[in-house]
C-alpha cells in the first residue's frame, strides 16, 4: 500500500470544537470542509475508529465518501475499545460485528487497515487467539486488506521498569498477531522505547511492517495551540482512555519542546517543525494529523 506521507486523523470528529460547549456538540460542516481540503491537498489516508464519537466519526467520513466515490482513498479504522453487549470488546464474534457496523458507517465495502486497538484481551488473554483468528479470516475474505495493532506507547513519566514491561507486552503480542501495520501515538517529545535493542522505526522496518504515527503535535500542545490544562474532555470516550497525559512532567517537557525543535531545524512555525520531525523518521511511515476545519 502506498499513501501520501501526511494523512488525516479523525479523532476530533464527534467532539466539540468549542471547549466551552458540551463535547457532544459538533460542527459537522466545518469538519467536512476540513476533510475536503485535506484530500484536495493530497491526503489519501483517513484514519478513524469505531469509538471516536461512538461511531459519529465513521458516519461523517461516510458522508464525505459519498461525495468522492472514485478517489483512491485508504480507509483505516480500529476495534477493541467498545464492548457493547458483548462479554468483552474482543469477545466472541464482536470484532466481526463491529467491522460490519464500521463498513456500514463508512459507506465502504472493505477496510484497507483494521487495527486491534487495545492490549487488553481479557483475563489470561482468553480472547487473544479468537481475535487473531477473526482478523485473519476477515483478511482472507477480503473485508480488510491489512491487519494492524496498537504500538508500544508510553507516557512521559513512565519509569524504566514500566517502559520495559510495555515493550515486552508489545513484543509478545506482535509475535502472535503478526501485523502488517502498527499504529502508535508519536511526537518529537515522546520517550524512546527499545524493542529488541532497536527503536520502533528500525524494528518495524526490519520486520517489513508499516507504521501509522498519530498525535504528532500532540493535540495542539506542542505548537502552543492548546495547553494540557485546556484539553477537551470527551464524555463519549470510553472510561479509562485519556485524551492525553496531563502530568507535571509532560507540561514541563511541552513548555520547552518548541525551542528544542527550533534549535535542531531552524526558525519555522512550531507546527511545521513538529511534523517535520515525524516525517523524517522513516519512509515506511504515514503521519496522521487531526483537523477541525478547512484551515
CB 98 within 8 A of CB 82: yes
**Cα separation of 216 and 271, whole Å?**
9
Q: Are 46 and 8 in contact (CB under 8 A)?
A: yes
Q: Taking the model in full, what pTM does it have?
A: 0.84
Binned at pLDDT 50, 70 and 90, residue 192 comes out as confident
Tell me: pLDDT of 25 over 80.
no
Cα of first residue to Cα of last residue in the chain, in angstroms, is: 28
pLDDT in tens, 227-284: 444 444 444 444 444 444 446 666 666 666 666 666 766 665 677 878 888 898 889 9
Tell whether the model's pLDDT for residue 19 goes beyond 50. Answer: no
Give me the phi and psi of 78, to 5 degrees please. -140, 160
| Residue of 284, 290, 295 whose CA lies nearest to 2 | 284
Of 132, 120, 125, give the one whose Cα is nearest residue 179.
132
* 15's grid cell: 467532539
Q: Which residue has the higher pLDDT, 221 or 229?
A: 221
pLDDT of residue 118: 95
Beta strand spans in the chain (E): 6-9, 45-47, 74-79, 111-116, 144-150, 181-185, 210-214, 285-290
Mean pLDDT, range 30-45, rounded to an integer: 94
3 state DSSP class of 235: coil
Residue 27 pLDDT level (bands cut at 50, 70, 90):
confident
- The predicted-structure confidence for 40-65, as pLDDT tens digits, reads as follows 999 999 999 999 888 889 999 999 99
- Is residue 225 classed as helix, strand or coil in its secondary structure? coil
Separation CA 145–CA 143 (nearest Å)? 7
Q: Copy the grid coordinates of residue 18.
A: 468549542
**Where are the alpha helices (H) located in 148-269, listed in sequence order?**
160-177, 200-206, 248-265
Question: Higher pLDDT residue, 193 or 104?
Answer: 104
Amino acid at each position: 500500500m502506498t499513501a501520501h506521507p501526511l494523512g488525516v486523523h479523525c479523532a476530533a470528529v464527534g467532539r466539540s470544537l468549542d471547549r466551552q460547549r458540551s463535547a457532544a456538540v459538533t460542527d459537522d460542516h466545518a469538519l467536512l470542509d476540513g476533510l475536503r481540503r485535506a484530500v484536495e491537498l493530497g491526503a489519501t489516508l483517513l484514519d478513524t475508529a469505531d469509538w471516536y464519537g461512538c461511531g459519529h466519526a465513521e458516519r461523517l467520513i461516510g458522508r464525505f465518501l459519498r461525495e468522492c466515490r472514485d478517489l483512491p482513498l485508504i480507509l483505516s479504522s480500529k476495534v477493541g475499545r467498545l464492548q457493547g453487549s458483548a462479554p468483552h470488546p474482543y469477545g466472541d464474534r464482536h470484532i466481526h460485528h463491529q467491522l460490519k457496523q464500521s463498513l456500514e458507517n463508512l459507506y465502504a465495502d472493505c477496510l484497507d487497515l483494521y487495527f486491534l486497538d487495545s492490549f487488553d484481551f481479557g483475563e489470561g488473554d482468553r480472547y487473544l487467539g479468537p481475535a487473531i483468528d477473526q482478523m485473519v479470516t476477515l483478511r482472507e475474505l477480503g473485508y480488510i486488506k491489512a491487519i494492524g495493532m496498537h504500538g508500544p506507547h508510553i507516557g512521559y513519566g513512565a519509569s524504566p521498569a514500566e517502559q520495559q514491561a510495555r515493550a515486552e507486552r508489545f513484543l509478545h503480542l506482535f509475535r502472535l498477531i503478526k501485523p502488517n501495520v502498527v499504529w502508535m501515538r508519536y511526537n518529537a517529545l515522546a520517550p524512546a522505547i527499545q524493542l529488541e535493542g532497536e527503536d520502533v522505526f528500525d524494528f518495524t522496518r526490519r520486520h517489513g511492517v508499516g507504521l501509522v504515527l498519530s498525535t504528532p503535535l500532540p493535540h495542539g500542545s506542542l505548537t502552543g495551540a492548546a495547553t494540557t490544562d485546556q484539553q477537551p474532555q470527551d464524555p463519549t470516550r470510553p472510561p479509562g482512555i485519556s485524551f492525553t497525559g496531563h502530568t507535571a512532567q509532560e507540561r514541563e517537557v511541552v513548555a520547552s519542546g518548541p525551542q528544542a525543535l527550533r534549535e535542531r531545524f531552524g526558525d519555522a512555525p512550531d507546527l511545521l517543525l513538529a511534523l517535520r520531525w515525524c516525517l523524517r523518521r522513516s519512509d515506511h511511515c504515514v503521519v496522521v494529523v487531526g483537523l477541525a476545519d478547512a484551515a
